[in-house]
Amino acid sequence: MKTKLTLVLLIAFSFLTNAQSSNNCAEEIQYLQQFTKSKEFNDAYTYLQSMRKTCPSYHKAIYIYGEFILKDKIDNAQTPEEKEALVKDLVALYGEYDKYFPGNGAGNTVKKAMLLLDNNIGTKQEAYGYLDTAFKTEPENFTSAKALYTYFELFVDDYEAGNKGIELQQVFDKYDEITEKLELEEKGLSDELDILLNKIETGEALTDKETRLKERNEYNLEQFSTVKGSMDAKIVLLSTCDKLIPFYQKSFEEKKTDVLWLKRAAERLEAKDCDSDPLFTKISEQLHKLNPTAESAYLLGVAAQRAKNTTKALEYFNQAAQLFTDATKKAKVYYKIATMYGTGNKTQARTYAKKALAAKPSFGQAYMLMAQLYASSANDCGKTPFEKRAVYWLSAQYASKAASVDPALKATANRQAASYNASAPSKTDIFNEGMAGKTISFNCWIGESVKVPNL
């Protein structure tokens, strides 16, 4: 009886203790939230440290608020020693977040690396270790453009320093892996953006939430575009044609049954304008033989174009465009076809530019091409000198459209629009001709009209 009574008392005591602890945690998290939101970070810090010790698994808000608190304390640290201790504590907090709330999707491993690098704490190898782990084990949470570039930069730095026995092929592989990740992120952002642009095109107003999403996606797309350019600049001396061609030639026999190697080799040779070499054709044909896909058809089209076999090139490109299910890739092929027709067949060039936009409304390069095609027709359309120069207003509209839908082209497209407007009739011309507010129709191949600006 005494044993049973003791057991009952222990269970009751444990229950009361747990209940009391739970009540304390509930109370403390309210204070944590209140002080954090009011930016009273010193008071919030007291509750943060208490909850990390007594109830670390109570709620993920501990770590969400904790990040704000510790970042503020880092920013206001009085000495280098204090700052270093706080940085390391935030690294520890990120680890605790993943320990008690696995699968939280916060990208804490990447955050650890960037925190150390941004504050110059620890070694670059420690930071690289975190980035490498994140890229390989939780790529879905590795979405920072800056972090992706840093990951690549550190890897190339190790190669150039002769560290870790890294070979050139591994540098190219890492470049391809990170580029594929960047393109995957870009695709998700641009697909969302296309939906919003289609909504705008149909005259529907965006909600405040959609407007913020549009702005955020445009900003992030611009960042990813910048990162890809920076990655190219980082290895520009390692990937010149005089280095790439012998490098791939040496590996071809060993790798000629490796579809991924063939695909990446052909794509890199094309990207670096090395596709006029016979090696590019050999790799592309081998790839198409092993695994005929939209990608391999496209590469054969490039090879045919380089060989000046335009008919065959167009055949392969059209085949590739039809096979591609990815909107961005489809749009790029249609755009390439449009540029092949160019000013030699402006109607066909515009047809394929429109196909590119039908596949992907945010593909600004197609609008830029149409603007160029119209500008090149200034002397062929319109009855009077005023009407001929009015074509430039139409070109400016298309360039401005490119700027509005494609963040990566915004600066270039806006400059081009300004240049077209400068070539259009001036205010004095409009006044002298009495054309303000009137509509001019272009009955040439353009078949569109433009409204003259009001004075």
CATH value at residue 315: 1.25.40.10
Check: CB of residue 372 under 8 Å from CB of residue 186. Answer: no
Q: So what's the pLDDT on residue 19?
A: 42
Q: So what's the pLDDT on residue 237?
A: 87
> In terms of domains, do 349 and 269 share one?
no
Q: How far apart are CA 145 and CA 221, in angstroms?
A: 9
pLDDT tier for residue 382 given thresholds of 50, 70 and 90: confident
Question: Buried b vs exposed e over 265-295: b needs ≥16 C-beta within 10 Å?
Answer: bbbbbbebebbebebbbbbbbbbbeeeebbb
> In terms of domains, do 319 and 338 share one?
no
Sequence-separated (6 or more) residues with CB below 8 Å from residue 371: 395, 396, 397, 398, 399, 402, 416, 417, 420
Q: Is residue 114 part of a domain?
A: no
pLDDT, tens only, 1-35: 455 444 433 444 444 344 445 578 999 999 999 99
DSSP letter, residue 79: S
Q: Is residue 409 part of a domain?
A: yes
Q: What is the DSSP string of 215-246?
A: HHHHHHHHHHHHHHHHHHHHTTTTS-HHHHHH
Domain's final residue, options 323, 358, 389: 323
> In terms of domains, do 287 and 165 share one?
no
Check: CB of residue 349 under 8 Å from CB of residue 339. Answer: yes
With the C-alpha atoms ordered 408, 413, 415, 418, is the resulting torsion angle positive or negative?
A: negative
> In terms of domains, do 226 and 150 share one?
yes
- Out of 88-97, 175-184, 203-212, the most confident range is 88-97
Both tokens of 296, joined, read 């391999």
Q: So what's the pLDDT on residue 17?
A: 41
Question: 3-state DSSP helix/strand/coil percent for the chain, to nearest 5?
Answer: 75, 0, 20
Average pLDDT, the chain: 92
pLDDT, tens only, 103-149: 999 999 999 999 999 999 999 999 999 999 999 999 999 999 999 99
Q: So what's the pLDDT on residue 10?
A: 43
Both tokens of 200, joined, read 């705008």
Rounded average pLDDT over 163-182 = 92
> In terms of domains, do 216 and 277 share one?
no
Q: Is residue 75 part of a domain?
A: no
> In terms of domains, do 295 and 335 share one?
no
Number of domains, the chain = 3
Picking from 22, 86, 32, the residue whose alpha carbon sits closest to that of residue 54 is 22
Picking from 412, 303, 329, the residue whose alpha carbon sits closest to that of residue 367 is 412
Q: Is residue 200 part of a domain?
A: yes
Query: Dihedral through CA 102, CA 104, CA 108, CA 110, nearest 10?
Result: 110
> In terms of domains, do 338 and 286 share one?
no
451 phi and psi angles, rounded to 5 deg = -95, 130
Q: In the chain, what percentage of residues exceed pLDDT 90?
A: 89
Rounded average pLDDT over 300-321 = 95
Q: So what's the pLDDT on residue 51?
A: 95
323 phi and psi angles, rounded to 5 deg = -80, -30
Picking from 71, 5, 81, 69, the residue whose alpha carbon sits closest to that of residue 37 is 69
Q: Is residue 63 part of a domain?
A: no
Domain's final residue, options 187, 218, 237: 237
Q: So what's the pLDDT on residue 22?
A: 57
Rounded average pLDDT over 79-87 = 96
Picking from 248, 278, 222, the residue whose alpha carbon sits closest to that of residue 413 is 222
Q: Is residue 96 part of a domain?
A: no
Neighbour tally for 135: CB within 10 Å: 20
Q: How far apart are CA 230 and CA 244, in angstroms?
A: 19
Neighbour tally for 305: CB within 10 Å: 19
Domain's final residue, options 220, 237, 254: 237
Tell me which residue range forms the domain holding 217: 138-237
Largest CA distance in the chain: 113
> In terms of domains, do 333 and 435 share one?
yes
Q: Is residue 1 part of a domain?
A: no
Q: So what's the pLDDT on residue 195?
A: 93
> In terms of domains, do 335 and 444 share one?
yes
Check: CB of residue 368 under 8 Å from CB of residue 349. Answer: no
Rg of the chain over CA atoms, in angstroms? 30
Check: CB of residue 36 under 8 Å from CB of residue 46. Answer: no
CA geometry: angle 12, 13, 18, nearest 5 deg: 100
> In terms of domains, do 244 and 220 share one?
no
Query: Dihedral through CA 392, CA 393, CA 396, CA 400, nearest 10?
Result: -170
Q: Is residue 16 part of a domain?
A: no
pLDDT, tens only, 206-234: 999 999 999 999 999 999 999 999 999 99
Q: How far apart are CA 138 and CA 64, in angstroms?
A: 19
Both tokens of 88, joined, read 């390391």
Check whether 428 has a pLDDT greater than 70: yes
